[in-house]
Amino acid sequence: MSALIQRRPHATVVEADFAEDLSPLLRRLFAARGAQSGDDIDLSMSSLLAPNLLHGIDQAVDLIIAAIESDARILIVGDFDADGATSCALAIRAFDAMGHSNVRFIVPNRFEYGYGLTPEIVELAKQQNPSLIITVDNGISSIDGVSAARAAGIDVLVTDHHLPGEQLPDANVIVNPNQRACDFPSKALAGVGVIFYVMSALRAGLRKKQWFSDQRPEPNMADFLDLVALGTVADVVPLDKNNRILVEQGLRRIRSGKSCAGIRALIEVSGRSAAKLVASDMGFALGPRLNAAGRLDDISIGIGCLLTDDAALARDIATELDSMNRDRRQIEQGMQVQADAALEKLEQQPNTDMPIGLCLFDENWHQGVVGILASRVKDRYQRPVICFALANDSEDCVDLKGSARSIKGFHIRDALDAVAARHPGLIEKFGGHAMAAGLSLKRESFDAFAQAFNIEASRQLSDDDLQSKIISDGGLDAAEISIDNALLINYAMPWGQQFPEPAFDNEFTVVQQRIVGGKHLKLVLKAVHGLSSDNQNTNSDIIDAIAFNVDIKIWPDDSVNTVTAVYRLDINRYRGRETVQLIVEHLEKVS
């Protein structure tokens, strides 16, 4: 699909009030992302928002302290993704550090129980005789489950970040920055960020009660920031200033060798360096390995990796997670082939336009991988996509589980809410946020839902919304394409959702091109205006580049002489030597 290259405006750089020693390139990049002063890029812990700004957090602390003082059993109910896993591990580690070890956890297996605190999960929870259930990264839509727990005499604290529906669960306390009564300035907290705030407030509450002593020392909450950083990046929440602080501080601890054994092991099996870790490594290397357990098996395996302090055991579990991730990739590739065939068939039908809101289903698809598939299709076709699989592996299954991914300008959770309002009973249940959501349907309702979803998407989205756009920070001068700038950008700031990693566009002459790894285009490029010798390549006029997952029907193309490339500056590390490398995100033939 063709794409329109759009450059970010740079006019606000003149007005920005940054420190004089900040490099001109970073001034330009920060200003283009809305930063206007040194305060906007101050990522010290002193700039972190205070816990008491969260609605319900004082009541949450009182509820937890009552359980701790009576040495009551606390049960953490988690979610089956990286955010849920890090949230669960953080809660258990923090309770243990505060001197309360009577804590257990349970995570719904997505293939048996589905998402959240359901009545079925409450039945399992009752076997552990908890006095208090704390949900992490879920619970805001668990109306029936919370009611079942309360009816059984179990107190419930919901900690979540997902958008609430019209009805809130009847929990003792809810801590969620997105509930209507909450004025917390950062609505972008991940689930792990919410529980970090709750446990930070709990420490302060216990301190007031003189709980800590020489025998029970007060923990340093910064010890848990490695988990916060991983869960925040892996959940692809917007990196507003508060989240950037959490991620940056977590990265600093990891780079200095202060992370938990599980994160160190995940870094090792993914072939990364802890000392040089950046946010994108968490999103593309660590997060997927942790998520693989929840997608294919049981996220409890991943939680176990994050909980152990035994380096050898952590390495064994991380190796198992790495194997699961390779299996996930293989499954995903097969599903992608099936989806491509279905979409090509749809495109070839006469007098039939591609739906604006696209729904795909195959009874052979894996329920745990449809979210990744939806994301891939969404990127290719620039439209909201929902991919469905059977709710279990029986061909007689009557229920479908769907995973939705959206594009800018289309709030997927609100769109599902609109469909549900217009067609009562069509959707069994749903939840999520602006860019991602999950839902359940009866198998017989798929066609009707697909039609209703397409109508809703068509109502909201224009042709311009469906035009794929590649956002660029403009061109780089010859001297700016350098190893120094690649390093500067890499470590200047945690880049991510809504604070995107810088990308640039320039014209290059293609010197060499070949496919590597079956689907990646390896390039040797020469800038049209030449490169500075500062780039430290053996030949100062050429530079290495790679474009991942290209269409091998199009590339390589020996007829191409000149291309426009949208790229990120990266560092190629080989045999102890560092050189600049371009990661090509978009490639267009010029001549």
Task: Give the per-residue pLDDT at 573.
Answer: 84
Distance, in Å, from the CA atom of 523 to the CA atom of 468, rounded to the nearest integer, reads: 24
Dihedral-angle region of residue 176 (phi above 0 means left; psi in -120 to 50 means alpha; beta otherwise): beta
Domain with residues 470-589, CATH architecture: Beta Barrel (2.40)
pLDDT at 536 over 60: no
HEC assignment per residue over 378-418: HHHHCCCEEEEEECCCCCCCCEEEEEEECCCCCCHHHHHHH
Other CB atoms closer than 10 Å to residue 218's CB: what's the count? 15
Question: Residues 111-128: what's their mean pLDDT?
Answer: 88
Written as one string, the DSSP assignment of 156-168 is EEEE--SPP-SS-
Helix spans in 508-562 (H): none
Percent of the chain past pLDDT 70, that is, above it, reads 96
Of 504, 457, 434, the closest CA to residue 476 belongs to 504
CATH of domain 53-248: 3.90.1640.30
pLDDT band, residue 528 (cuts 50/70/90): confident
34-43 in b/e form (b: 16+ CB < 10 A) is: ebeeeebbeb
pLDDT tens for each residue of 469-504: 999 999 998 789 999 999 999 999 999 999 999 999
Mean pLDDT, the chain, integer:
93
Per-residue pLDDT band at 359 (split at 50, 70, 90):
very high
Give 316-350 pLDDT, tens digit per residue: 999 999 999 999 999 999 999 999 999 998 888 88
Q: What's the pLDDT score for residue 534?
A: 46
- pLDDT given at position 351: 76
Helix (H, G, I), strand (E, B) or coil at 50: coil
Give me 93's structure tokens. Answer: 């580690």
Instruction: Tell me the Ramachandran region of residue 564: left when phi exceeds 0, alpha when psi lies from -120 to 50, beta otherwise.
Output: beta
Residue 527: the pLDDT is 84
pLDDT at 535: 45
Percent of the chain past pLDDT 90, that is, above it, reads 82
Phi, psi of 302 (to 5 degrees): -65, -40
Higher pLDDT, 131 or 2: 131
Give burial (CB, 10 Å; 0-12/13-18/19+) of 497: middle
Of residues 137 and 478, more confidently modeled: 137
Separate counts of helices (H) and strands (E) for the chain: 17, 17
Q: How far apart are CA 370 and CA 379, in angstroms?
A: 14
Give me the CATH code for the 353-460 domain, please.
3.10.310.30
pLDDT confidence tier of residue 115, bands split at 50, 70 and 90: confident
Cβ(298)–Cβ(371) below 8 Å: no
Among the listed ranges 268-272, 381-385, 433-437, 450-454, which one has the minimum average pLDDT value? 433-437
Judged against a pLDDT cut of 70, whether residue 53 lies above it is answered with yes
pTM of the model: 0.92
Render pLDDT for 8-50 as a digit per residue (tens, 0 to 9).
Answer: 876 455 556 888 889 999 999 999 999 989 999 999 999 999 9
| The pLDDT value given to residue 10 | 62
Buried-state track 553-589, b at ≥16 Cβ within 10 A, e below 16: eebbeeebeebbbbbbbbebeeeeeebbbbbbbbbbe
pLDDT of 533 over the 70 cut: no
User: pLDDT tens digits, residue range 251-262?
Assistant: 999 999 999 999
pLDDT in the model for residue 395 = 66
Question: Given the structure tokens 């198998």, which residue do they identify?
Answer: 443
Angstrom distances, CA of residue 525 to CA of 307, 504, 546: 46, 15, 10
More confident residue, 479 or 567: 567
pLDDT band at 531 (very low <50, low <70, confident <90, very high): very low
Domain ranges of the chain: 53-248, 353-460, 470-589
Alpha helices in 176-224 (DSSP H): 191-208
Spatial distance between the Cα atoms of 560 and 512, rounded to a whole number of angstroms: 10
Residue 160, token pair as written in the block = 């979540």
